[in-house]
């Protein structure tokens, strides 16, 4: 697995410098970016993932080892993005959602087999044909992460991923997500304003302050 490099990344809004960051995230490492709301945490993720709004200007480079990402269209960056909402496509069933992100190579039987195996690994094997709207919050969160993992990402970006979960569920899902990304040896960047998230991640913590 490759290391995710953020080389001298600076994001401006007009004349104003919003944030600057220079770091590298090793495979399996979870780096947390913290800061109060409005400081541009989500803008950073949007930039890395390829969705920066034209209102902002960015400089610097995003690399996976030697592959430069910031010049590629979003769909070719292979960065798994997880929002605070699970965003399971409402017009597809659970299986369809998981298949959406998978590469098209391989027979459809194989693809289906991998989906079943992935669902079975989280105890959701009976849910393949279910309408995502009928899932519980915790189940949706799990399916959303499975979808990202099945798309064979080369790094993971987490955008306040646990803030909308019930307090009781939050710890459990959090541990589960972190275990998975470590198992897959994926460099992971999480932005959050919740210190419990940062503590649970157990990695480096970078704090953005209002510039």
Q: Largest Cα–Cα distance of the chain, in whole Å?
A: 54
**Interface map 156-175 toward other proteins (x if CB under 8 A):** -x------------------
Shortest Cβ 195–other proteins spacing (Å): 25
Contact flag: residue 38 with other proteins (CB under 8 A): no
**Interface map 56-85 toward other proteins (x if CB under 8 A):** -----------------xxxxxxxxx-x-x
Q: Describe the strand order of the beta sheet including 205-207 as a list of residue ranges.
A: 79-82, 155-159, 188-192, 30-34, 205-207
Q: Spell out the residues 6+ positions from residue 100 whose beta carbon is closer than 8 angstroms to its own.
A: 89, 92, 147
Structure tokens at 180: 């998975």
Shortest Cβ 90–other proteins spacing (Å): 3
SS3 state at 112: helix
Stretch that binds other proteins, among 11-19, 26-34, 43-51, 191-199 (CB under 8 A): 43-51
Residue with tokens 């995003």: 62
Q: What are phi and psi of 181, to 5 degrees?
A: -65, -30
The binder of other proteins chosen from 90, 105, 107, 126 (CB under 8 A): 90
Contact residues for other proteins, defined by CB under 8 A: 46, 49-51, 53-54, 73-81, 83, 85, 87-91, 93, 100-101, 103, 131-134, 147-148, 151, 157
């Amino acid at each position: 697995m490759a290391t995710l490099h953020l080389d001298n990344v600076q994001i401006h809004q007009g004349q104003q410098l919003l944030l600057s960051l220079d770091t590298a995230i090793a495979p399996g490492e979870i780096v947390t970016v913290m800061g109060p709301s409005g400081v541009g945490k989500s803008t950073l993720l949007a930039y890395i993932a390829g969705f920066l709004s034209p209102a902002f200007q960015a400089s610097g480079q995003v690399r996976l080892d030697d592959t430069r990402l910031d010049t590629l269209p979003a769909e070719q960056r292979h960065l798994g993005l997880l929002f605070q909402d699970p965003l399971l496509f409402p017009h597809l069933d659970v299986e369809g959602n998981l298949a959406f992100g998978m590469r098209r190579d391989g027979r459809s039987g194989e693809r289906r087999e991998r989906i079943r195996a992935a669902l079975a690994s989280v105890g959701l094997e009976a849910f393949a044909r279910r309408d995502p709207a009928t899932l519980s919050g915790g189940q949706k969160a799990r399916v959303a992460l499975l979808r990202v993992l099945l798309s064979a990402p080369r790094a993971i970006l987490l955008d306040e991923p646990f803030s909308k979960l019930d307090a009781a569920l939050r710890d459990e899902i959090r541990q589960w997500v972190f275990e998975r990304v470590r198992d897959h040896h994926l460099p992971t960047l999480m932005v959050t304003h919740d210190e419990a998230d940062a503590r649970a991640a157990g990695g480096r913590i970078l704090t953005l302050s209002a510039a």
